[in-house]
Amino acid sequence: MSTYRWLASARGRRIQPGARGSGRSRRLTLWSAALLALATVLATPGPAQAASPVVFGSVDGGIRRLEHDTGRQMANHAYAHFDSQVPVAEMITVRTSVPWRQVSSAQPGSATYDAIVRWAQTIKARGGRVLLAYHHEPEASGSLSYGGAADFIAAYRRVETIFNQQGATNVTWVWQMTAYAFRVKSTDRRYAPKWYPGDDYVDVVGGDGYNWGSACGRTTGWTELPSFTDPIIAFARAHQKLAALPEFGAPPNSRRAQWLDNAHQYFANNQGILVAAFYFNKGDSHCNWVLSTQSEFAAFNRMLDDRTHFTTSY
């Protein structure tokens, strides 16, 4: 276990939500910051300290096809609602069906509260660690009906608080935004810092990033991974957190196999701060990310087979 991962697992347990503001809490926060600064040095790959491999795989709904096409098993990133069963996966992204204000005010006996408790108890009972994100891409247009940034932050904190109260300490909390939110101007409503739940509530800074090319009617042109991933990692470093790509992808193109090989090198270079990456192997005729050629499968397998830098378990 790398120092980064140990600190991520212990982060929320030293200072429980609701304990902010006391002198003891401030002292613990300073001590945590000192430990994290030390971790930045210790987690750098070297002769005495190897960084943890990146958890690597694909997103639920496309993973089975990719496993069939590559002949490999890989880590799964599953999506679900709190009123559904708890998936078994290395990463789970979950949301409620009700507005965020209803989540942040959820009390024992309400359907929302009881559903969150059931999830917390199920994950706790399973043992082992899981990456868990609450309501991905909250700043995107698809989430407008749930509320604003302050509503999301309150709901996120409420969900994590309930998990902590249930003793589900085997959760690594992922704040999952779009990669674009880390690049817009500070005046933009989607600007990532406006949606940040706070250092005490986040273990991993996540961003869903895509090389759009001409997919989905876009005209942004062919882009390499660093163009949309560097800002995510920069934000994570600034807050002394891990980073992740809960979704990433590129559209069909003769350059896609090389793009994956370039991503391979980028992930390896950022091993130690990058904890997970999941390829979005889904799409349709309008918006397609599905890998389809033998050269692409071979490039993907080179990452899966590189056990120095990648793993399929968490």
pLDDT in tens, 218-264: 777 899 999 999 999 999 999 999 999 999 999 999 999 999 999 99
Q: How far apart are CA 251 and CA 282, in angstroms?
A: 10
Q: Which residues, including other chains, have CB under 8 Å from residue 55's CB and lie 6 or more apart?
A: 75, 90, 91, 131, 275, 276, 277, 310, 311, 312, 313, 314
What is the number of residues in the chain?
314
Looking at the chain, the whole-number percentage of residues with pLDDT higher than 90 is 79
Q: How far apart are CA 28 and CA 119, in angstroms?
A: 29
Cα–Cα nearest to 245, from 303, 163, 184 = 303
The β-bridge relationship of strands 130-134 and 75-81 is unpaired
Both structure tokens of 11: 């982060």
Q: How far apart are CA 159 and CA 123, in angstroms?
A: 14
CA–centroid distance for 268 within its chain: 18
- Residue 120 — very low, low, confident or very high, per pLDDT cuts 50/70/90? very high
Both structure tokens of 36: 């994290």
pLDDT of residue 287: 87
Both structure tokens of 193: 């810092």
Domain count, the chain: 1
Amino acid at 211: N
Report the mean per-residue pLDDT for the chain. Answer: 88
pLDDT of residue 213: 82
- Residue 297 — very low, low, confident or very high, per pLDDT cuts 50/70/90? very high
CA distances from 109 to 124, 168, 182 (A): 20, 19, 38
- Whether the pLDDT of residue 121 is over 90: the answer is yes
Element (H, E) at 91: strand 91-95
Report the CATH number at residue 239. Answer: 3.20.20.80
Q: How far apart are CA 47 and CA 164, in angstroms?
A: 36
pLDDT of residue 35: 41
pLDDT of residue 221: 85
- Whether the pLDDT of residue 104 is over 70: the answer is yes
Question: Regarding predicted confidence, which is higher, 35 or 213?
Answer: 213
Q: How far apart are CA 124 and CA 103, in angstroms?
A: 21
pLDDT of residue 220: 77
CB-hemisphere CA count at 13 Å for 273? Answer: 23
pLDDT of residue 111: 97
pLDDT of residue 9: 44
- Whether the pLDDT of residue 274 is over 70: the answer is yes
Global pTM reads 0.86
Amino acid at 94: V
pLDDT in tens, 141-200: 999 999 999 999 999 999 999 999 999 999 999 999 999 999 999 999 999 999 999 999
- Residue ranges making up the domain that contains 76: 3-311
pLDDT of residue 218: 78
- Residue 50 — very low, low, confident or very high, per pLDDT cuts 50/70/90? low
- Whether the pLDDT of residue 23 is over 50: the answer is no
The β-bridge relationship of strands 75-81 and 91-95 is parallel
Q: How far apart are CA 257 and CA 269, in angstroms?
A: 19
